[in-house]
């Protein structure tokens, strides 16, 4: 976080005694933006379950400047790959609220629940074995007018 | 000047504020797809289930390989029929009492339920000809089984009379159900057997009429049955069965037969858990309807006893008015068919009768050999005669010369 304090010095003009005069003093300060974002942990899902909860994206203690936002992005190839044979896969979709999830903007405290959804057909065709898939989350903070 | 410197500084600072900051991380999603699944079978009251040839009752859990199949068979108890076989996965293939889960993909539960077979009480009469005396016996019909009960006093009065009848008849043929099993009180067997011993009575046997067949026990058979019975009744069952219900060796023997129209009969008599198969020299005459196929030669209709080991023994039979009648010296599995059979005798083939049967391929080879032999003899005779002629010619020529 950047913390910046701007201060400017002003000099008041001097006048001869007997006359009154005034001036404007500008006082400035800056409150730094703070936020905390949590993403899901690595998690096992249950075989043959169509929608597996994997955790939440949660924005807590957010203090953002007006017009600024936090963006959380999830990148995945949508495949659970067999640990012994990477060509054997189970397709899945990362979802939030029933819709496919790729990114979301946050301007205040909020939580989004994520699920890994796998169709019954995909489960039925999956050979026995251990499978692993990877989801990469990226959290960014930016203003609306750079 | 100072103001201008301150403004520039403010702008630079604002620019710094707009630079984004970012962070993140990767998470792994893992899952294990199992190589086996649990198939839980819940069997209701009124029967049992079999899995891999073993019977079970109640709730049992089985293991099936992923992508493998699983078969369960319902075995209703007496007086019950299979009501339903259901699966929570909805992928069962049903066939009579069999249910097959073609592809096991997850843990599943199969439920097997039974219900009581339809039960009706019908009165059947035991007609006696001669003096036209008839008594009414009661029969309780459950599914394919009729249990007969009779007032013994009435039965005694019936049998004591000069009936002039040949047989005492228990007639179940008029029931609406397709009865193939009759439970007869041993008292009827004993009473009829006793009176068949009385030559003046005229009764010679007990006839049981089914909807699609008839069985007549002679006096010796009735006495043998009476002597072997261990319960208060005997159960007589006669039904056409699919050859798949035969033993493997029996089925192989029947499958080897080239005939198209083969009826497999299962005839059984028991008293409690005791199987009664020996009639001690007596016999039972079996009569059942037979419909010849178009163009079928009814003169080749034959009946064969099929032993447990798969051997086949022909029994005498006759065909008249749409019925095949044969005499069984014991009860077991029989086949009714027509035409020449492999491993058996064609009653109209003199070669088979001469060879004694079980060598049917020779029915073709032997005639061919006879023909070849005869031809060979003819050729030899011809050559001999010709040589003799040539010899005489040359002799004459030398003389002339």
Average pLDDT over residues A26-46: 86
pLDDT tier at B44, thresholds 50, 70, 90? very high
pLDDT tier at A57, thresholds 50, 70, 90? very high
Residue among A40, A41, A31 nearest A62 (CA) = A31
CA distance B3 to chain A (A): 9
Mind listing the pLDDT tens digit for each residue in B203-238?
Answer: 678 889 888 899 999 989 999 999 999 999 999 999
- Chains A & B: contacts with CB separation below 8 Å: 111
Q: What is the mean pLDDT of chain A?
A: 84
pLDDT tier at B341, thresholds 50, 70, 90? very low
On chain B, the residues whose CB falls within 8 A of the CB of A42 are 27-30
CA distance A12 to chain B (A): 14
B9 touches chain A (CB under 8 A): yes
pLDDT tier at A119, thresholds 50, 70, 90? very high
B21 vs A135 pLDDT, higher one: A135
CA distance B44 to chain A (A): 28
Nearest 10 degrees: Cα torsion A52, A56, A57, A61: 180
The rounded percent of chain A whose pLDDT value lies above 70 is 84
pLDDT for the residue B1: 64
* Distance between CA atoms of residues A63 and B268, nearest Å: 91
* Distance between CA atoms of residues A125 and A89, nearest Å: 10
Contact state of B31 with A46 under an 8 Å Cβ cutoff:
yes
pLDDT tier at B401, thresholds 50, 70, 90? very low
B250 vs B259 pLDDT, higher one: B250
pLDDT for the residue B293: 76
On chain A, the residues whose CB falls within 8 A of the CB of B30 are 42-45, 80, 130-133
pLDDT for the residue B89: 75
Q: Which of A74-78, A109-113, B14-18, B103-107 has the least mean pLDDT? A: B14-18
A50 touches chain B (CB under 8 A): no
Average pLDDT over residues B18-45: 86
B18 touches chain A (CB under 8 A): yes
pLDDT tier at B309, thresholds 50, 70, 90? confident
Contact state of B28 with A4 under an 8 Å Cβ cutoff:
no
pLDDT tier at B386, thresholds 50, 70, 90? confident
Report ipTM (2 d.p.): 0.79
Chain B: residue whose CA lies nearest to A53: B29
Contact state of B25 with A140 under an 8 Å Cβ cutoff:
no
Mind listing the pLDDT tens digit for each residue in B50-78?
Answer: 999 899 999 999 999 999 999 999 999 88
Q: What is the mean pLDDT of chain B?
A: 80
* Distance between CA atoms of residues B295 and B300, nearest Å: 12
pLDDT at A88 over 80: yes
The b/e string for B331-369 (b: 16+ C-beta within 10 A; e otherwise) is bbbbbbbbbbbebbbbbeeebbeeeebebbeebeeeeee
Average pLDDT over residues A113-136: 96
pLDDT at B21 over 80: no
Average pLDDT over residues B335-355: 55
On chain A, the residues whose CB falls within 8 A of the CB of B22 are 138-141
Average pLDDT over residues A63-78: 89
B394 burial via Cβ count (<10 Å: 0-12, 13-18, 19+): exposed
pLDDT at B366 over 80: no
B31 touches chain A (CB under 8 A): yes
* Close Cβ partners of B132 (under 8 Å, ≥ 6 residues apart): none
pLDDT tier at B364, thresholds 50, 70, 90? low
A121 touches chain B (CB under 8 A): no
* Close Cβ partners of B265 (under 8 Å, ≥ 6 residues apart): B238, B239, B240, B241, B286, B288, B333, B334, B335, B336
Contact state of A47 with B24 under an 8 Å Cβ cutoff:
no
Task: Look at the block and give the residue holding tokens 């030669």.
Answer: B297
The b/e string for B176-201 (b: 16+ C-beta within 10 A; e otherwise) is ebebbbbbbbbbbbbbbbbbbeeeeb
CA distance B32 to chain A (A): 4
Contact state of A139 with B23 under an 8 Å Cβ cutoff:
yes
B54 touches chain A (CB under 8 A): no
Chain B: residue whose CA lies nearest to A4: B13
Average pLDDT over residues B35-47: 95
Pairing relation of β-strands B108-116 and B36-43?
parallel
pLDDT tier at B5, thresholds 50, 70, 90? low
DSSP A91-130: E-EEEETTEE-SEEEESSSEEEEEEEE--HHHHHHPPSEE
Identify which of A39, A126, A143 has the shortest CB distance to residue B27.
A39
Residue A136 CA: distances (Å) to CA of A39, A76, A131 = 10, 6, 17
pLDDT tier at B342, thresholds 50, 70, 90? very low
């Amino acid at each position: 976080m950047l913390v910046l304090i701007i201060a400017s010095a002003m000099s008041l003009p001097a006048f001869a005694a007997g006359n009154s005069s005034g001036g404007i003093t500008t006082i400035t300060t800056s409150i730094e933006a703070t936020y905390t974002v949590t993403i899901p942990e690595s998690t096992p899902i249950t075989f043959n379950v169509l929608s597996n909860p994997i955790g939440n994206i949660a924005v807590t203690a957010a203090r953002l400047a007006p017009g600024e936002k936090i963006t959380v992005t999830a990148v995945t190839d949508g495949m659970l790959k067999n640990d012994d044979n990477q060509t054997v896969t189970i397709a899945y979709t990362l979802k939030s609220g029933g819709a496919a999830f790729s990114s979301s903007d946050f301007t205040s405290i909020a939580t989004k629940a994520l699920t890994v959804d796998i169709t019954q057909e995909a489960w039925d065709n999956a050979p026995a074995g251990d499978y692993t898939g990877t989801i990469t989350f990226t959290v960014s903070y930016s203003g609306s007018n750079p | 000047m100072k103001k201008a410197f301150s403004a520039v500084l403010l702008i630079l600072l604002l620019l710094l504020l707009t630079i984004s900051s970012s962070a993140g991380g990767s998470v792994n999603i893992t899952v294990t797809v199992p190589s086996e699944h649990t198939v839980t079978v819940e069997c209701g009251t009124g029967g049992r289930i079999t899995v891999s040839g073993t019977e079970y009752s109640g709730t049992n859990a089985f293991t099936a390989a992923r992508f493998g199949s699983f078969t369960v068979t319902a075995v209703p108890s007496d007086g019950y029929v299979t009501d339903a076989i259901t699966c929570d996965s909805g992928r069962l293939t049903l066939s009579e009492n069999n249910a097959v889960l073609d592809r096991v993909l997850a843990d599943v539960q199969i439920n097997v339920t039974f219900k009581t077979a339809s039960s009706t009480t019908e009165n059947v009469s035991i007609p006696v000809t001669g003096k036209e005396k008839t008594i009414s016996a009661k029969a309780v019909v459950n599914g394919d089984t009729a249990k007969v009960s009779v007032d013994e006093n009435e039965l005694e009065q019936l049998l004591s009379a000069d009936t002039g009848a040949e047989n005492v008849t228990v007639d179940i043929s008029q029931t609406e159900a397709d009865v193939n099993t009759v439970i007869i009180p041993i008292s009827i067997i004993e009473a009829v057997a006793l009176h068949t011993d009385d030559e003046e009575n005229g009764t010679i046997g007990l006839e049981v009429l089914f909807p699609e067949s008839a069985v007549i026990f002679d006096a010796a058979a009735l006495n043998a049955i009476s002597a072997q019975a261990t319960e208060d009744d005997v159960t007589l069952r006669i039904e056409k069965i699919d050859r798949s219900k035969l033993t493997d060796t029996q089925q192989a023997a029947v499958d080897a037969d080239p005939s198209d129209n083969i009826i497999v009969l299962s005839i059984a008599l028991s008293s409690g858990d005791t199987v009664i198969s020996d009639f001690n020299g007596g016999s039972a005459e079996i009569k059942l309807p037979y419909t010849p196929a178009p163009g079928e030669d009814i003169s080749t209709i034959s009946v064969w006893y099929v032993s447990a080991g798969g051997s086949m023994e022909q029994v005498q039979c006759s065909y008249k008015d749409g019925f095949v009648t044969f005499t069984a010296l014991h009860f077991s599995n029989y086949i009714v068919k027509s035409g020449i059979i492999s491993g058996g005798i064609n009653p109209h083939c003199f070669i088979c009768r001469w060879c004694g049967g079980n060598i049917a391929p020779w029915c073709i080879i032997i005639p061919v050999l006879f023909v070849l032999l005869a031809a060979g003899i003819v050729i030899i005779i011809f050559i001999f005669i010709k040589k003799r002629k040539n010899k005489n010619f040359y002799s004459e020529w030398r003389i002339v010369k």
